[in-house]
């Protein structure tokens, strides 16, 4: 599709200004920095310090916007609005990154090593287990890369210099920094406190941006023509019916160009968090690129030894009326095609978790997960993690689930590599965070886009099974693409209505 569509993406600012300040325990910070300096001197190497401090709570997006004004480095945003949980980070204290098929193992090993080496301190007793690392993984490290995802390695965890962990009415700040034996600790502490003071002022004077109704134009272009994508779906359906495999997820990509101005990630996040409070809202900056989205699918969370995940597969549109919505939901629950697709995902997740869990619980039947413009079949799954394992180990076993790859996994991935003709990059890959205890949360990076300046590349995928219809799958992919089209300021195109 090549067309112009009206957009509504001019930001306006709200008038409310809220005072906010950070009170940091200077003496405890100094003591932690000196401890790191002594260790660096003894071991003749650079030492990583992580200092945790309770701070006043603040709207996560206001913080994210203020950090752009502060110009302290690349930014990170992660929020689950319905539960008032968020992580907002800036700058880089250290990174863990890897390339190739062993990227999950390499990242997990490096994370364990980091936990043993970091010098930790806090201003008081802390519930937050710093340091917290944030990042993600490519969907398929064996797929040839293109320049589109050049700034995103196959595996990447970032430890921000400043990271705010906000939960309900409580917030903590984790300060992380590399310290050498020759650093002037008084100057290091003064520089940190100065940054925090500057940030306090910026937050108080950086109101949330909102959209105002004005016209601009987005030009959309299918990376692969619609007819070619539908033909691929038809070919895959024939292969499934000949028992080559049971399911394959085929993705589409659309390029959107704003003819008038650069995309504003801040207003995109504001829209997504408002419209999709039950999704994970995220943005990660790498150089001039932002990977941003609102994904309904949690891959895995870990808290004090308990793993929580869900099977999410099978989709239907929302109805225009309550009666139509209930009818579409009932049809989805009874649909043989969608139930079959969903059951494959449930079984695969159960088998993957069994390797790392002493017990696994699965809900008796799927339920409806209703989002703004689409509803899915969802089955909650819970497991008790065995000692010695972390969330990173379980992610390696789970990814990719049949919901984003296919089944059997190896055959489906090979088909995707050979015929999809799309560099998914981090789309449909694990994206989230892990802390020093091994607790954390990773989502599957669906409903997402890679944004640079006035250009955005959007992604969506559909699960193809034996009775899939190419036209219906194409329309479903358009429905999913609409999440980010609207988030970037666009309206539905005629092809998607």
Q: Which sequence positions are flagged as catalytic?
A: 247, 297
Under a CB-based contact definition with an 8 Å cutoff, are residues 239 and 411 in contact? Answer: no
Residues with Cβ within 8 Å of 202's Cβ and at least 6 positions away in sequence, in order, are 66, 67, 69, 70
b/e sequence 403-441, b meaning 16+ C-beta within 10 Å: bbbbbebeebbebbeeebebbbbbbbbbbbbbbbebbbb
Of 55, 306, 386, which is closest to residue 203 (Cα–Cα)?
Answer: 55
Of 345, 407, 412, 399, which is closest to residue 377 (Cα–Cα)?
Answer: 345
Under a CB-based contact definition with an 8 Å cutoff, are residues 310 and 296 in contact? Answer: no
Under a CB-based contact definition with an 8 Å cutoff, are residues 312 and 377 in contact? Answer: yes
Work out whether strand 119-122 and strand 47-55 pair parallel, antiparallel, or are unpaired. parallel
| Number of other CB atoms surrounding residue 456 within 10 Å | 27
Of 326, 405, 372, which is closest to residue 482 (Cα–Cα)?
Answer: 372
Question: Nearest-5° angle of CA 178, CA 179, CA 181?
Answer: 150
- DSSP at 435: -
Under a CB-based contact definition with an 8 Å cutoff, are residues 482 and 496 in contact? Answer: yes
* Residue whose structure tokens are 């991935």: 413
What's the CA gap between 392 and 408, in Å, rounded? Answer: 22
For the CA atoms of 325, 331, 334, 338, what is the dihedral angle to 10 degrees? Answer: -100
Distances (CA, A) of 4 to 211, 215, 258, 485: 20, 12, 10, 12
């Amino acid at each position: 599709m090549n067309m112009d569509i009206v957009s509504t993406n001019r930001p306006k600012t709200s008038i409310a200004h809220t005072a906010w300040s950070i009170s940091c325990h200077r003496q405890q910070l100094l003591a932690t920095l000196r401890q790191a300096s002594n260790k660096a001197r003894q071991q003749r190497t650079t030492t990583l310090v992580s200092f945790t401090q309770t701070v006043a709570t603040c709207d996560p997006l206001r913080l994210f916007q203020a950090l752009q004004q502060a110009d302290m480095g690349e930014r990170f945003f992660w929020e689950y609005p319905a539960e008032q949980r968020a992580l907002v980070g800036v700058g880089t204290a250290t990174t863990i990154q890897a390339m190739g098929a062993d990227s999950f193992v390499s990242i997990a090993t490096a994370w364990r090593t980091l936990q043993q080496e970091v010098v930790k301190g806090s201003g008081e007793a802390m519930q937050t287990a710093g340091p917290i690392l944030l990042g993600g993984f490519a969907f398929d490290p064996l797929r040839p890369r293109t320049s589109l995802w050049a700034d995103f390695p196959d595996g990447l965890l970032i430890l921000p210099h400043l990271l705010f962990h906000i939960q309900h009415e409580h917030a903590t700040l984790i300060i992380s920094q590399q310290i050498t034996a020759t650093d002037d600790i008084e100057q290091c502490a003064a520089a940190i406190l100065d940054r925090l003071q500057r940030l306090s002022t910026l937050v108080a004077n950086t109101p949330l941006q909102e959209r105002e109704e004005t016209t601009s134009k987005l030009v959309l272009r299918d990376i692969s023509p619609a007819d070619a994508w539908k033909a691929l779906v038809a070919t895959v359906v024939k292969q499934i019916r000949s028992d080559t495999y049971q399911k394959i997820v085929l993705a589409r990509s659309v390029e959107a160009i704003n003819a008038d101005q650069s995309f504003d990630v801040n207003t995109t996040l504001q829209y997504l968090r408002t419209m999709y409070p039950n999704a994970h809202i995220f943005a990660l900056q790498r150089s001039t690129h932002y990977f941003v989205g609102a994904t309904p699918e949690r891959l895995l969370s870990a808290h004090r030894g308990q793993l929580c995940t869900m099977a999410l597969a099978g989709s239907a549109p929302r109805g225009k009326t309550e009666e139509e919505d209930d009818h579409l939901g009932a049809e989805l629950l009874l649909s043989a095609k969608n139930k079959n697709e969903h059951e494959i995902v449930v079984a695969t997740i159960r088998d993957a978790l069994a390797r790392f869990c002493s017990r696994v619980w699965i809900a008796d039947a799927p339920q409806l997960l209703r989002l703004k413009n689409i509803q899915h079949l969802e089955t909650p799954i819970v497991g008790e993690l065995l000692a010695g394992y972390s969330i990173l180990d379980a992610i390696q076993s789970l990814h990719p689930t049949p919901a984003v790859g296919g089944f059997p996994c190896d055959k489906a991935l090979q088909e995707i590599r050979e015929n999809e003709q799309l560099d998914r990059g981090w789309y449909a890959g694990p994206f989230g965070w892990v802390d020093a205890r091994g607790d954390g949360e990773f989502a599957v990076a669906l409903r997402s886009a890679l944004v640079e300046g006035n250009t955005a590349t959007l992604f969506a995928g559909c699960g193809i099974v034996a009775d899939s219809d190419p036209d219906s799958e194409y329309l479903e992919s358009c429905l999913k693409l609409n999440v980010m089209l609207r988030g970037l300021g666009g309206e539905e195109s005629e092809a998607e209505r």
